[in-house]
Chain A
């Protein structure tokens, strides 16, 4: 009886189920969900009622396949659960209004099928998600290994050349060795920053802008000189502080400065200037890369980039830099100076001054 009712009232049930999906506030219904998702749910249900004597194993298999299909179509778990629920409500409401006689067994089967379908779809959906996450992890590990091998290989070859004694420690071979080691260091720092960001490990503290910039100037001067680039760091006034994760901020700024040095030609200049207002702190890194190709500045300013994305060879660390800055409440923007270079600006909230003369806790 229920099967005949579903077949006869398919159109009316769909209208009600779609209305329920449209009316909900979250998750918002999508066009595809309304046009193809909900009819699929209902047709599956009708098919199951037709084959109501099939084994529950076959039903679970069908539900699992359905979950896999939904993932490919881009549905979320919440959409799946809500749409099954919406179809269920539409059927029971219409059945009640038309007062058709549905047996207790039919209702039991009907509810059990919906429960199994939701559980099966969610399980399959979760499994697919896990597989996708694992594949993403493998891809990242592959990228990391590739970067490490290249920089380690270059360092080993440079060291081998130095060992022959035929080249001096102040020449291009030693400079290459220095760059390769810095690149290795950068890869390691970026990886640690990524792990910390993804694990939500933030160590927020008061960070002196002066100390942060000085640290970057010292650690990157070797990199700049090895590329014959003039790194000019404007001194920072005392008493300007920001609140953030010191390690993440240092890794982000170092990555931006290293990219600037990398893309600035020999004899070129990279400058790091800071400025502060009452509420904000700006760190501007200007290079002489020659300018960006059309649209690249907007692309680099996008808040989210594809995992492991390397926009135009700007290094694996740029998206991590952006996220590291965001983790401290700031943001990064890029300005193209056509024919000259580009300016990366880190904009962070300024922390108020340390109050002196306030009482301290006993024992501190």
Chain B
């Protein structure tokens, strides 16, 4: 079993939130910002850029369907970067078809969640992804 991380250690963790929907970014931010440091990107291209900025993110929460570069392609590009090839990714998306879920999980995703998941699911997955 992986050692758990204390609350104070979790607070230093940085999460990159990638979503083209402004309200979703804000909602995720309001939910998680009391516990984590957050950084935001508005599409896949922006996500790649922000992921490579220092400090590098400890977790990426990304939408799948986004303009310019979708979430799955973004993760594939990010995984090609040595420093980021093991960063956990949670897809938080409206795309819930079986094909989308398989495509999402095939790029080494920690979790694939629907945007309409039950309350608490995203927080729980984030905590577990960060070893909390």
A: residues with CB less than 8 A from B are 145-146, 149-161, 163, 166-167, 172-173, 176, 179-180, 183
Contacts and interface: CB of A to CB of B under 8 A. Distances in A.
Nearest to B34: A166
B24 interface: yes
B122 interface: yes
A180 B115 CA distance: 13
Contact of B122 (A157, A158, A167, A176): A157
Which of A154, A155, A163, A173 has the most chain B CB atoms inside 10 A of its CB? A154
Nearest to B63: A150
A149 B65 CA distance: 12
Contacts of B102: none
Given A149-B114, A150-B115, A180 B65 contact: no
Interface in B58-85: 65
Nearest to A151: B23
Contacts of A167: 30
B24 A160 contact: no
5 contacts: A149-B115, A150-B21, A153-B24, A156-B115, A158-B27
B5 to A, nearest CB: 21
B3 interface: no
Nearest to A150: B21
Which of B24, B28, B122, B123 has the most chain A CB atoms inside 10 A of its CB? B24
A153 B115 contact: yes
Interface in B101-132: 114-116, 119-120, 122-123
A167 B27 CA distance: 13
A163 B26 contact: no
Which of B21, B23, B24 has the most chain A CB atoms inside 10 A of its CB? B23
B23 A180 contact: yes
A183 B27 CA distance: 14
A150 B94 contact: yes
Given A176-B26, A179-B23, A149 B31 contact: no
A25 B30 CA distance: 64
Which of B30, B31, B122, B123 has the most chain A CB atoms inside 10 A of its CB? B30
Interface of B: 21, 23-24, 26-28, 30-31, 34, 65, 92, 94, 114-116, 119-120, 122-123
Contact of A176 (B23, B114, B120): B23
A323 to B, nearest CB: 25
Contacts of B114: 149, 153
A166 B123 CA distance: 15
A172 B94 contact: no
A332 B97 CA distance: 39
A146 B23 CA distance: 13
A173 B30 contact: yes
Given A160-B119, A163-B119, A153 B94 contact: yes
Nearest to A171: B30
A160 B120 contact: yes
Contact of A146 (B27, B34, B94, B119): B94
Contact of A154 (B23, B34, B120, B123): B23
Contacts of B92: 153
Contacts of B28: 157
A154 B116 contact: no
Given A146-B94, A152-B115, 16 more contacts: A145-B94, A149-B115, A150-B23, A150-B94, A150-B115, A151-B23, A153-B115, A154-B24, A154-B27, A156-B116, A157-B27, A157-B31, A160-B31, A161-B27, A166-B34, A167-B30
A148 B21 CA distance: 12
A152 B34 CA distance: 22
A158 B30 contact: yes
Contacts of A172: 26, 30
A143 to B, nearest CB: 10
Nearest to A155: B27
Contact of B30 (A151, A161, A163, A183): A161
A145 B120 CA distance: 22
A172 B122 CA distance: 20
